[in-house]
Amino acid sequence: MRLAFQVAYIGTDFYGSQMQPGLRTVEGTVIGACRDLGLFDDWRKAGFAFSGRTDRGVHARRQICAFTTPPCPERAIARLNHILPRDCECSGWAETDDSFHPRYNAQARTYRYYIYDDGSTDPHRMQEAASLLTGTHNFSHFSRLDGKNPERTILSSHIHAEDGFYIYEITAPGFLWNMVRCIVSSIIAMGRDELNADDMTALLKATPGMRHVTPAPPEGLILWDIDCGIPFTPLKGTGSMRDAAPERTRFFETMKKVNWMMD
Protein backbone atom coordinates (compact mmCIF):
# COMPACT_ATOMS: atom_id res chain seq x y z
CA MET A 1 0.00 0.00 0.00
CA ARG A 2 1.30 3.45 -0.91
CA LEU A 3 0.35 6.42 1.27
CA ALA A 4 0.82 10.15 0.80
CA PHE A 5 0.78 12.75 3.59
CA GLN A 6 0.64 16.52 3.62
CA VAL A 7 3.38 17.69 5.99
CA ALA A 8 3.61 21.08 7.71
CA TYR A 9 6.70 22.28 9.55
CA ILE A 10 8.27 25.36 11.06
CA GLY A 11 11.74 25.32 9.52
CA THR A 12 13.55 27.39 12.15
CA ASP A 13 15.19 24.45 13.92
CA PHE A 14 15.62 22.17 10.90
CA TYR A 15 18.71 22.09 8.68
CA GLY A 16 16.47 22.03 5.62
CA SER A 17 14.16 19.27 4.44
CA GLN A 18 16.66 16.93 2.75
CA MET A 19 18.34 14.27 4.89
CA GLN A 20 21.89 15.06 5.99
CA PRO A 21 23.97 12.79 8.26
CA GLY A 22 24.12 14.02 11.84
CA LEU A 23 21.76 16.96 11.28
CA ARG A 24 18.11 17.49 12.19
CA THR A 25 16.15 17.59 8.93
CA VAL A 26 12.48 17.25 8.07
CA GLU A 27 12.95 14.10 5.99
CA GLY A 28 15.03 12.50 8.71
CA THR A 29 12.42 13.38 11.32
CA VAL A 30 9.50 11.96 9.33
CA ILE A 31 11.44 8.83 8.36
CA GLY A 32 12.41 8.29 12.00
CA ALA A 33 8.76 8.55 13.08
CA CYS A 34 7.71 6.06 10.39
CA ARG A 35 10.39 3.61 11.54
CA ASP A 36 9.30 3.97 15.17
CA LEU A 37 5.78 2.99 14.12
CA GLY A 38 7.02 0.03 12.08
CA LEU A 39 5.68 1.45 8.82
CA PHE A 40 8.92 0.48 7.06
CA ASP A 41 12.52 -0.42 7.89
CA ASP A 42 14.40 0.88 4.86
CA TRP A 43 13.18 4.22 3.47
CA ARG A 44 14.74 3.45 0.09
CA LYS A 45 12.85 0.18 -0.32
CA ALA A 46 9.70 1.99 0.82
CA GLY A 47 10.19 4.57 -1.93
CA PHE A 48 10.02 7.42 0.59
CA ALA A 49 10.09 10.79 -1.18
CA PHE A 50 9.16 14.44 -0.68
CA SER A 51 7.74 16.70 -3.39
CA GLY A 52 10.87 18.82 -3.27
CA ARG A 53 13.53 20.36 -1.07
CA THR A 54 13.34 23.38 1.16
CA ASP A 55 16.45 25.14 2.44
CA ARG A 56 17.44 25.62 6.04
CA GLY A 57 15.03 28.06 7.73
CA VAL A 58 12.28 27.68 5.11
CA HIS A 59 8.85 26.61 6.38
CA ALA A 60 6.07 24.52 4.84
CA ARG A 61 2.30 24.46 5.10
CA ARG A 62 1.68 21.59 2.67
CA GLN A 63 4.79 19.69 1.70
CA ILE A 64 3.91 16.20 0.46
CA CYS A 65 5.65 12.93 1.24
CA ALA A 66 4.83 9.39 0.11
CA PHE A 67 5.96 5.89 1.03
CA THR A 68 4.97 2.26 0.61
CA THR A 69 3.99 0.31 3.71
CA PRO A 70 2.22 -2.97 4.56
CA PRO A 71 -1.57 -2.59 4.42
CA CYS A 72 -2.07 -0.93 7.81
CA PRO A 73 -2.90 2.73 7.13
CA GLU A 74 -4.74 3.07 10.44
CA ARG A 75 -1.48 2.96 12.38
CA ALA A 76 0.05 5.78 10.32
CA ILE A 77 -3.12 7.87 10.34
CA ALA A 78 -3.78 7.51 14.05
CA ARG A 79 -0.26 7.61 15.45
CA LEU A 80 2.13 9.53 13.19
CA ASN A 81 1.35 12.97 14.62
CA HIS A 82 1.84 11.65 18.15
CA ILE A 83 5.38 10.58 17.26
CA LEU A 84 6.40 13.70 15.34
CA PRO A 85 7.86 16.70 17.24
CA ARG A 86 5.66 19.72 17.76
CA ASP A 87 7.27 21.78 14.97
CA CYS A 88 6.24 19.16 12.37
CA GLU A 89 2.86 17.56 11.68
CA CYS A 90 0.79 15.76 9.06
CA SER A 91 -2.37 17.64 8.11
CA GLY A 92 -3.84 15.25 5.53
CA TRP A 93 -3.45 11.78 4.04
CA ALA A 94 -4.36 9.83 0.90
CA GLU A 95 -4.02 6.31 -0.45
CA THR A 96 -2.38 6.39 -3.89
CA ASP A 97 -1.49 3.97 -6.63
CA ASP A 98 1.92 2.31 -6.52
CA SER A 99 3.37 4.60 -9.18
CA PHE A 100 2.67 7.84 -7.29
CA HIS A 101 5.71 10.04 -6.73
CA PRO A 102 5.13 13.37 -4.95
CA ARG A 103 7.81 15.16 -6.96
CA TYR A 104 6.97 13.92 -10.43
CA ASN A 105 3.19 14.03 -9.93
CA ALA A 106 3.24 17.63 -8.71
CA GLN A 107 1.32 19.81 -11.15
CA ALA A 108 1.75 23.18 -9.42
CA ARG A 109 3.66 24.52 -6.43
CA THR A 110 2.73 27.65 -4.49
CA TYR A 111 5.05 29.65 -2.22
CA ARG A 112 4.37 32.60 0.04
CA TYR A 113 6.91 35.08 1.33
CA TYR A 114 6.15 37.34 4.31
CA ILE A 115 7.56 40.88 3.98
CA TYR A 116 7.23 42.97 7.12
CA ASP A 117 5.64 46.36 6.41
CA ASP A 118 8.16 48.77 7.94
CA GLY A 119 7.07 51.64 5.67
CA SER A 120 10.09 51.41 3.37
CA THR A 121 8.35 49.80 0.40
CA ASP A 122 5.63 50.99 -1.99
CA PRO A 123 3.03 48.20 -2.35
CA HIS A 124 1.88 49.46 -5.75
CA ARG A 125 5.39 49.23 -7.17
CA MET A 126 5.80 45.78 -5.63
CA GLN A 127 2.57 44.64 -7.27
CA GLU A 128 3.77 46.09 -10.58
CA ALA A 129 6.93 44.01 -10.22
CA ALA A 130 4.93 40.90 -9.28
CA SER A 131 2.69 41.31 -12.34
CA LEU A 132 5.71 41.28 -14.66
CA LEU A 133 6.54 37.73 -13.49
CA THR A 134 3.54 35.92 -15.01
CA GLY A 135 4.26 33.96 -18.17
CA THR A 136 7.40 32.19 -19.35
CA HIS A 137 10.75 33.85 -18.66
CA ASN A 138 14.47 33.13 -18.45
CA PHE A 139 15.44 33.04 -14.77
CA SER A 140 19.21 32.83 -15.23
CA HIS A 141 19.67 35.95 -13.08
CA PHE A 142 17.39 34.55 -10.36
CA SER A 143 19.02 31.19 -9.57
CA ARG A 144 22.11 29.03 -9.60
CA LEU A 145 21.24 26.86 -12.56
CA ASP A 146 23.68 23.92 -12.24
CA GLY A 147 23.03 23.06 -15.89
CA LYS A 148 19.23 23.21 -15.67
CA ASN A 149 16.95 24.88 -18.20
CA PRO A 150 16.57 28.51 -17.00
CA GLU A 151 13.07 28.92 -18.45
CA ARG A 152 10.11 28.59 -16.08
CA THR A 153 6.41 29.45 -16.49
CA ILE A 154 4.77 31.45 -13.71
CA LEU A 155 1.03 30.79 -13.42
CA SER A 156 0.27 33.54 -10.90
CA SER A 157 2.19 36.21 -9.00
CA HIS A 158 0.69 38.80 -6.68
CA ILE A 159 1.04 40.79 -3.42
CA HIS A 160 -1.54 41.36 -0.72
CA ALA A 161 -1.44 43.00 2.72
CA GLU A 162 -2.33 41.13 5.91
CA ASP A 163 -1.66 41.72 9.63
CA GLY A 164 1.21 44.14 9.17
CA PHE A 165 2.87 42.18 6.37
CA TYR A 166 2.97 42.22 2.59
CA ILE A 167 2.51 38.63 1.48
CA TYR A 168 3.90 37.67 -1.90
CA GLU A 169 2.35 34.54 -3.44
CA ILE A 170 3.66 32.78 -6.54
CA THR A 171 2.52 29.60 -8.30
CA ALA A 172 4.33 27.60 -10.99
CA PRO A 173 4.74 23.97 -12.09
CA GLY A 174 8.32 24.13 -10.80
CA PHE A 175 11.06 26.44 -9.56
CA LEU A 176 14.83 26.66 -9.70
CA TRP A 177 17.01 26.68 -6.59
CA ASN A 178 16.66 30.00 -4.70
CA MET A 179 14.42 31.31 -7.48
CA VAL A 180 11.55 32.47 -5.27
CA ARG A 181 13.86 34.20 -2.79
CA CYS A 182 15.66 36.01 -5.63
CA ILE A 183 12.30 37.09 -7.08
CA VAL A 184 11.31 38.47 -3.67
CA SER A 185 14.55 40.47 -3.48
CA SER A 186 13.84 42.04 -6.85
CA ILE A 187 10.22 42.84 -5.88
CA ILE A 188 11.34 44.52 -2.65
CA ALA A 189 14.05 46.42 -4.55
CA MET A 190 11.42 47.74 -6.96
CA GLY A 191 9.20 48.65 -4.00
CA ARG A 192 12.11 50.69 -2.62
CA ASP A 193 12.72 52.37 -6.00
CA GLU A 194 16.06 50.61 -6.38
CA LEU A 195 14.85 48.88 -9.57
CA ASN A 196 12.33 50.01 -12.19
CA ALA A 197 10.08 48.07 -14.57
CA ASP A 198 12.68 48.21 -17.36
CA ASP A 199 15.30 46.71 -15.02
CA MET A 200 12.91 43.93 -14.04
CA THR A 201 12.09 43.17 -17.66
CA ALA A 202 15.80 43.05 -18.52
CA LEU A 203 16.43 40.61 -15.68
CA LEU A 204 13.62 38.37 -16.92
CA LYS A 205 15.15 38.35 -20.39
CA ALA A 206 18.53 37.35 -18.90
CA THR A 207 20.08 40.46 -20.48
CA PRO A 208 23.90 40.16 -20.38
CA GLY A 209 25.64 42.51 -17.98
CA MET A 210 22.87 42.51 -15.36
CA ARG A 211 23.91 41.56 -11.84
CA HIS A 212 22.70 38.24 -10.45
CA VAL A 213 19.95 38.87 -7.89
CA THR A 214 20.83 38.14 -4.24
CA PRO A 215 18.24 35.87 -2.57
CA ALA A 216 16.07 37.18 0.26
CA PRO A 217 16.57 35.49 3.65
CA PRO A 218 15.00 32.02 3.95
CA GLU A 219 13.09 32.77 7.15
CA GLY A 220 10.26 34.57 5.33
CA LEU A 221 9.51 31.77 2.87
CA ILE A 222 6.73 29.18 3.18
CA LEU A 223 6.04 26.30 0.81
CA TRP A 224 2.32 27.03 0.85
CA ASP A 225 0.73 24.29 -1.24
CA ILE A 226 1.42 21.54 -3.77
CA ASP A 227 -1.18 20.23 -6.21
CA CYS A 228 -0.52 16.59 -7.05
CA GLY A 229 -3.96 15.99 -8.52
CA ILE A 230 -5.19 13.79 -5.66
CA PRO A 231 -7.65 14.55 -2.83
CA PHE A 232 -6.40 14.43 0.77
CA THR A 233 -8.46 13.54 3.82
CA PRO A 234 -7.78 16.08 6.60
CA LEU A 235 -6.17 14.96 9.83
CA LYS A 236 -7.68 17.03 12.63
CA GLY A 237 -7.29 17.24 16.36
CA THR A 238 -4.13 15.18 16.77
CA GLY A 239 -1.60 17.52 15.16
CA SER A 240 1.68 17.96 16.99
CA MET A 241 1.68 21.68 16.12
CA ARG A 242 -1.59 22.36 17.93
CA ASP A 243 0.41 23.61 20.96
CA ALA A 244 3.12 25.30 18.89
CA ALA A 245 2.19 28.91 19.74
CA PRO A 246 5.78 29.73 20.80
CA GLU A 247 7.07 28.56 17.40
CA ARG A 248 4.44 30.61 15.55
CA THR A 249 5.26 33.69 17.64
CA ARG A 250 8.94 33.22 16.91
CA PHE A 251 8.14 32.90 13.19
CA PHE A 252 6.34 36.25 13.03
CA GLU A 253 8.98 37.97 15.17
CA THR A 254 11.60 36.68 12.75
CA MET A 255 9.60 38.04 9.81
CA LYS A 256 9.79 41.52 11.33
CA LYS A 257 13.58 41.32 11.20
CA VAL A 258 13.85 40.10 7.63
CA ASN A 259 13.78 43.57 6.03
CA TRP A 260 16.71 44.69 8.19
CA MET A 261 18.65 41.65 7.02
CA MET A 262 18.14 42.75 3.42
CA ASP A 263 19.60 46.24 3.86
Q: Indicate whether 239 pLDDT > 50.
A: no
What CATH fold (topology level) applies to the domain 108-221? Answer: Alpha-Beta Plaits (3.30.70)
* pLDDT tens digits, one per residue of 113-161: 999 888 999 999 999 999 999 999 999 999 988 888 999 999 999 999 9
Same fold, 2-105+228-243 and 108-221: yes
Where does the pLDDT of residue 214 fall: very low under 50, low under 70, confident under 90, or very high at 90 and above?
very high
Q: Indicate whether 262 pLDDT > 50.
A: no
What does the alpha-carbon distance between residue 103 and residue 90 come to, in Å, rounded to a whole number? 17
Closest of 55, 82, 209 to residue 140, by C-alpha: 209
What pLDDT shows up at residue 258? 52
Q: Indicate whether 183 pLDDT > 60.
A: yes
Q: Indicate whether 240 pLDDT > 50.
A: no
Closest of 89, 27, 30 to residue 53, by C-alpha: 27
* pLDDT tens digits, one per residue of 69-98: 987 778 788 889 999 998 899 999 999 999
* pLDDT tens digits, one per residue of 45-61: 999 999 999 999 999 99
| Mean confidence (pLDDT) of the chain | 89
* Known catalytic membership, residue 55: yes
Domain positions in the chain are: 2-105+228-243, 108-221
Q: For the domain 2-105+228-243, what is the CATH code?
A: 3.30.70.580
Active-site annotation holder among 13, 55, 199, 227 = 55
Where residue 38 falls (left for φ over 0; alpha for ψ -120 to 50; beta otherwise) is left
E strands, 78-164, are 88-96, 108-116, 135-138, 151-154, 156-162
Q: Indicate whether 44 pLDDT > 50.
A: yes
With the CA atoms of 77, 78, 81 and 84 taken in that order, what torsion angle do they form, in degrees rounded to the nearest 10? -90
3-state secondary structure of 161: strand
Q: Indicate whether 237 pLDDT > 60.
A: no
With the CA atoms of 183, 15, 82 and 68 taken in that order, what torsion angle do they form, in degrees rounded to the nearest 10? 80
Q: Indicate whether 249 pLDDT > 70.
A: no
To 10 degrees, what angle do helices 179-191 and 197-204 make? 160
Where does the pLDDT of residue 255 fall: very low under 50, low under 70, confident under 90, or very high at 90 and above?
low
Tell me the pTM. 0.90
Beta carbons of 238 and 82 less than 8 angstroms apart: yes
Lowest mean pLDDT among 103-112, 132-141, 242-251: 242-251
